[in-house]
Amino acid sequence: MQALYDVPAPAKLNLFLHITGRRADGYHLLQSVFMLVDWCDTLHFERRADGLISREDLSMALPEVDLSVRAARALQAATGCSEGAHISILKRVPAQAGMGGGSSDAATTLLALNRLWGLNLPRHALAKIGLQLGADVPFFLCGHNAWVEGIGETITPLEKAHQLPQASFVIVKPAAGLETKEIFSSPSLKRDSDSATILGFAAAHFDFGRNDLQPVAQALCPDVSQAIAWLSDRGLKGRMTGSGSAVFAQMSHAVDLSGAPEGWQVKACENLMIHPLAGWASGEI
C-alpha cells in the first residue's frame, strides 16, 4: 500500500463541560461528553521512502508544523520507523472553535500512518503517543462518543445502553476565535462544579449541564453571545462547545439557517455513532 486517500477527521462537540477542580500543577480537572459530528477535514497520505514528513495545504494555510506533522514525527520517534509521508489536508473544520479540528487531524494521522507504515500498533499505544500531542487526541482515537474526565485522559466510551441517540444539530462559528489558554487562565472561571454521573447525563442527554467556560468566553468574545442570540431568534437553545468560539444547538425540526452575518460559518450536522476509522486500530484505550 503506497497511499491512503480521502481519510476523514471528524470534529467534536462538548455536550457539556464542567470544571470540577484544579491540580497542583495548574491543569484543570473536567467532566464532559465528547460527541463526534459529520463536519470533517479530509486528509491524504502518501508514503515517502526518504523518511521525511511533508505537508500540502489543499485549502487554508496551516502552520508549518501543525498537529498532523507533529503526530507523524511522534509516531516515527516512538517506533523507530524509517518511512516518511506526504500529508495533504483539506481543512474544513474551523480553528479556534472548540471543535477539536487539529486534534482530530493528529488522531487520523496516527491511525493512517500506523496502517500505511505497517506498524500495527494497538489503540492504547497510539493513545499514549496522542496524549503527548494534546489532551483531546486520545478521544478521537477511542472510536466512540465518550464520557471524559480528569485532564481529558480518562475516557469512557458511550456504548450500548449509554449510546447517544441520533440527532441533528446546527453549528455556528462566528468570525472571531478564542485562545484556550486565555480562558483557562481567567480568575473569573468557575472551577468548583459538582461531580456529575453518566446516569445523570443519560437522563437528559442534550439538555444536561452547561459549559463552565462559556461565561468567560462571552466576556472575552462578544461574537459568542451574538451567535447564541442568533440561534435563539430561530427558536434554538445555543451553547458553546469546548473553549469556543463555536456554538451549537440541537434541531428537532427544519430551521431557516440563512442570514448569518458575514464571516460566520453555519452548518447543519448529524452526530456520529462511531468514528469513521474506528476499525483501524485494535485494543482498548
Cα–Cα dist 205/162, whole Å: 10
- Catalytic: 12? yes
Rounded Cα distance, 218 and 245, in Å? 9
Pairing mode, strands 84-90 and 168-173? unpaired
List of residues 6+ apart from 268 with CB closer than 8 A: 168, 169, 170, 251, 257
Contacts of 264 by beta carbon, 8 Å cutoff, 6+ apart? 172, 173, 174, 175, 227
**136 tagged catalytic:** yes
Grid coordinates of 138? 486520545
Q: Find where cell 497511499 sits.
A: 3
Other CB atoms closer than 10 Å to residue 225's CB: what's the count?
Answer: 17
Strands (E) in the chain, as ranges, are 3-22, 28-48, 53-57, 84-90, 146-150, 154-157, 168-173, 239-240, 247-251, 265-270
Sign of CA dihedral 98, 54, 74, 276: positive
Considering 41, 66, 136, 223, which one is annotated as catalytic? Answer: 136
Nearest to 283 by CA among 123, 138, 153: 123
Distances (CA, A) of 47 to 66, 83, 87, 88, 247: 19, 7, 9, 12, 38
Nearest to 109 by CA among 84, 146, 135: 84
Residues with active-site annotation: 12, 136
